A and B are shown apart, each in its own frame.
Chain A
């Protein structure tokens, strides 16, 4: 058995239909646990006060905004190289989720920034690259809508995705590359011990897991929707011949 078998829409529909309800329930459980725990049962930070509670939305949303684009990049490259329609449709399915995550990250960041930095917005390297990523998401979605032929749209959007990935990576590494601006470094790191207290860390992990699972379940749901729309179009076109 190979992963490429699931590039077959019939096999993809069968597998995704089976796993989708479990992932959706798990996502809702993680999100509810993390957000309720974080909002109601964590203490205020000695410096940030109650604004520390914004990290439970801001950090996972910002992570998923970047990761969604990386997923779209991988799916687009698979489309360009192997011409699997499911991968092109999965990239298309991820875009509205990514743009929502980017919007949440920008808004919650601004709401945290005003009391902590004294401003909602600054042309800081990370904030600016995030804003450009947001514009790329809008352009990507608009291009899918504007081009009638799905294969041509998939080709053109794959190019946008490759170009936009520069800004997705910049969003992640801008703080390290420029070492200037208002935005602090990563809240969570893989190599070092956590820079935040355990009382904030565990609810944050639940929220991150919830956002990841929400992303996966919505990508599956939306990819299934696009496969159905494509099949419907094919049936209608065949009938009109």
Chain B
């Protein structure tokens, strides 16, 4: 349950929303790039061993 934020509710909630979205986006992007790099390296190493 969201606490009563009074007249500053919009300011507080938008600060939290934007900050959390940015943090989640950063983590998701880093994980995605990391998985992509791992797959590409595995692929290159496989071709190297052929």
Contacts and interface: CB of A to CB of B under 8 A. Distances in A.
Do A and B truly interact?
yes
Contacts of A239: 44, 47-48
A61 B19 contact: yes
A57 B18 CA distance: 11
Nearest to A211: B23
Nearest to A108: B15
B41 A228 contact: yes
Given A97-B26, A228-B41, A239-B48, A54 B15 contact: yes
Nearest to B36: A225
Given A53-B12, A107-B19, A235 B37 contact: no
27 contacts: A39-B16, A44-B6, A53-B5, A57-B15, A57-B16, A58-B15, A96-B30, A100-B25, A104-B18, A104-B22, A104-B23, A107-B18, A111-B11, A112-B11, A214-B23, A218-B30, A221-B30, A221-B31, A222-B30, A224-B34, A225-B33, A228-B38, A229-B37, A235-B41, A238-B48, A239-B44, A239-B48
Given A100-B26, A239-B47, 20 more contacts: A40-B3, A51-B12, A53-B5, A53-B12, A61-B19, A100-B22, A103-B22, A104-B18, A104-B19, A107-B19, A112-B15, A115-B7, A214-B23, A225-B34, A225-B37, A226-B37, A228-B40, A231-B44, A232-B37, A232-B44
